[in-house]
Chains A and B, each alone.
Chain A
Amino acid sequence: MNFYAIVTVISLAVYLIVGFYSAKNLKNVDDFYVMGRNAPSYLITGTMIATNISSVAFVGYVGSVYSRGSLPYLTMFGATLTSSIILGLYVGRYIWRMKLYTVPDFFTTRYPKNEVVKIASTAIVLFSMLIFLISVCQGVNVVLCDTFGMSKIMAQIVVLGIVTVFTMAGGMKGVVITDTIMFCIFFVAAMLVAPFLVGAMGGWPNGITEAVKKIPYTMNWDGNFGHFAGFWQYVEVNIASIVLVFASPQLLSRAFIAKSEKTFGRAMILQTLVFPIFIFSLLFFFGILPAVNPDLAPTSAFTWAAMNLAPKWIGALALAGITAAALSSASSLFQQAAAALSRDIYERYVNPQASEQKKLLVSRLAVLAIAILCYIAGTTQQITAVGMVYGFLFATAAWAAWFPSLIFGVLWKKATAKAAAWSMSLGFICAMIFVFGRTNGFTPSWLPPNAVGLLVSFIVYIIVAKTSEPTKDELEVYSAMRKPVE
């Protein structure tokens, strides 16, 4: 085992220990699902960024920036942070007041007595979490196999084993605390590698000036996409970012765990302060790296820089950072998928009278069940290939379908369950048509499936809401949620 692998193994051991320790005071399902609604701002900030940034950032985005230019990929984080501010200071306050455990809880509470909305929201969260989780786990496997020479089976066992243990033990608390530690590791890793990249170019500022002249497209707004494709690239990544923040269960659930609505607001402000430093340090200079080494495989750009440009201990921390980024996203997806199984299916349909201890046991067993499903899917060749291709597309398209129901549910008095049911169903179907169409070549590749899903679900929601009336129950929930502060 080389030095880089040793440092990563040490970091994995730290996550396990911390995950176990966080289980010390876990007593009930409130603690397991939502950390007792006691999370301080800095932990929410840490887990939000860690969940948002997976190995995709260190491998995929860095590789894309290396080959296509920095700005088309940096832009999406403007949408992420703008959405975070709106969530933290406006929409999230009303969601926090609802005292939810899972995202389907929102739909069940806001649109009471509508089975279609209940079932559709549970199905969306379960399948989107599972499919996205499979693709994230595959990303982690690539890192562990390529960087440390592990076999695929061993990489699967390591990843799933670690995440299962600390999620089963600590629930949301275990996930949030380990996420924050992982965020610290990859934040420091990105900040430490950046100066060595700049040094390799010839130093700041003259080295950068000369390097950019060799790769003229790298600081164009559209990189080397060209204007038309560049425009649609901006549309797709910014929509994906907006949908991710407002409508993805793994991020939206962080509104449930805050100590107060002010705590959540502060956490989003902290995020807007920390995230830009991290993402510019990580991505900006990799757009100029082709001036130093034009022959890299794009997906290995970050690992090459960590292992060849930075001192050994910084490189080792950087590689541990990639694993941390991947594990943090995986654990959040795990926790949400398990919550959907236990809260939205077991508690709601199988045993509504379950005791507190029974619910806690089932929640933990649900984590194990998800791990087993992921292992089977991850080692089945066909499912692995499908998961990697469809994973992110499917998940963001699914969330785009329920996004209007969520936003209108919070903001519009005339929101109705009928509108939500039609909007989610038709938006999802249209988005899926374009997901399969794009990957199989029968719809235009430049047309983003999430944009189609979003447009259809918005239009359908507005039309149906205008032609239906909210029930007394729906109006009561809205009024209670929107009661002015006295």
Chain B
Amino acid sequence: MKKDNFGIIALIAAIVMFIVAIVIFVTPLPVKTATIVTICWVFGPAIVGSVVYCIMESKGKWRQDTDLK
């Protein structure tokens, strides 16, 4: 199966978004901890998911056939 770069692109986008979210939502706040944790919880799955997708793509984990055999 042809491998794609979707995972890498998604990972880069996820990291950029995380940084931008920290800058926009956290930097103006006087108390930051709770918001940082929330941002990690909400924006984190994109980073983790992209990494897992990349690993699955490199190991050829996607099934191609369409019927239960």
| Chain A residues near B (Cβ < 8 Å) | 71, 74-75, 77-78, 81-82, 84-85, 88-89, 93, 97-99, 204-206, 208-209, 212-213, 219-221, 260-262, 265-266, 268-270, 272-273, 276-277, 279-280, 284, 477, 480-481, 483, 485
- Chain B residue numbers with a CB within 8 Å of A273 are 10, 13-14, 17, 46
Given known A-B contacts A276-B42, A279-B42, A204 and B62 have beta carbons under 8 A apart: no
Let me know if A269 and B69 touch, CB within 8 A. Answer: no
- Chain A residue numbers with a CB within 8 Å of B21 are 276, 280
Q: Give the residue of A81, A284, A477 whose beta carbon is less than 8 angstroms from that of B46.
A: A81
- Chain B residue numbers with a CB within 8 Å of A77 are 42
B37 → chain A closest CB, angstroms: 7
* B58 part of interface (Cβ distance < 8 Å): no
Let me know if A262 and B62 touch, CB within 8 A. Answer: yes
Tell me the count of chain B residues lying within 8 A, CB to CB, of chain A.
40
Instruction: List 6 A-B pairs, minimum CB-CB distance, nearest first.
Output: A78-B41, A205-B28, A272-B46, A81-B45, A85-B49, A480-B68
A315 → chain B closest CB, angstroms: 23
B61 → chain A closest CB, angstroms: 6
Let me know if A85 and B28 touch, CB within 8 A. Answer: no
Let me know if A268 and B68 touch, CB within 8 A. Answer: no
- Chain A residue numbers with a CB within 8 Å of B60 are 485
| Chain B residues near A (Cβ < 8 Å) | 6-7, 10, 13-14, 17, 21, 24-25, 27-31, 34-35, 37-39, 41-46, 48-50, 52-53, 56, 60-64, 66-69
- Chain B residue numbers with a CB within 8 Å of A209 are 28-30
Q: Give the residue of B25, B31, B43, B44 whose beta carbon is less than 8 angstroms from that of A284.
A: B25
- 5 A-B pairs with CB atoms under 8 Å apart are A82-B44, A206-B28, A221-B34, A221-B38, A262-B62
- Taken together as a complex, chains A and B put the C-alpha atoms of A205 and B30 apart, in Å, by 11
- Taken together as a complex, chains A and B put the C-alpha atoms of A15 and B17 apart, in Å, by 31
A159 → chain B closest CB, angstroms: 31
- Taken together as a complex, chains A and B put the C-alpha atoms of A268 and B50 apart, in Å, by 10
Residue of A nearest to B46 (CB): A272
A337 → chain B closest CB, angstroms: 27
Let me know if A260 and B62 touch, CB within 8 A. Answer: yes
Let me know if A220 and B34 touch, CB within 8 A. Answer: yes
A325 → chain B closest CB, angstroms: 19
Residue of B nearest to A76 (CB): B42
- Chain B residue numbers with a CB within 8 Å of A204 are 24, 28
Let me know if B30 and A269 touch, CB within 8 A. Answer: no
- Taken together as a complex, chains A and B put the C-alpha atoms of A24 and B50 apart, in Å, by 36
B48 → chain A closest CB, angstroms: 7
Q: Give the residue of A78, A266, A269, A480 whose beta carbon is less than 8 angstroms from that of B38.
A: A78
- Taken together as a complex, chains A and B put the C-alpha atoms of A262 and B66 apart, in Å, by 12
- Chain B residue numbers with a CB within 8 Å of A270 are 10
Residue of A nearest to B67 (CB): A99
Given known A-B contacts A85-B48, A280-B21, A261 and B63 have beta carbons under 8 A apart: yes
- Chain A residue numbers with a CB within 8 Å of B56 are 89, 265
**Max count, chain A CB within 10 A of own CB: residue among B37, B42, B50, B67:** B42
Given known A-B contacts A209-B29, A261-B63, A71 and B35 have beta carbons under 8 A apart: yes
Residue of B nearest to A223 (CB): B34
Let me know if B35 and A98 touch, CB within 8 A. Answer: no
- Taken together as a complex, chains A and B put the C-alpha atoms of A205 and B27 apart, in Å, by 8
Residue of B nearest to A213 (CB): B30
Let me know if A485 and B38 touch, CB within 8 A. Answer: no
**Max count, chain B CB within 10 A of own CB: residue among A206, A270, A279:** A270
Let me know if A89 and B52 touch, CB within 8 A. Answer: yes
Let me know if A269 and B46 touch, CB within 8 A. Answer: yes
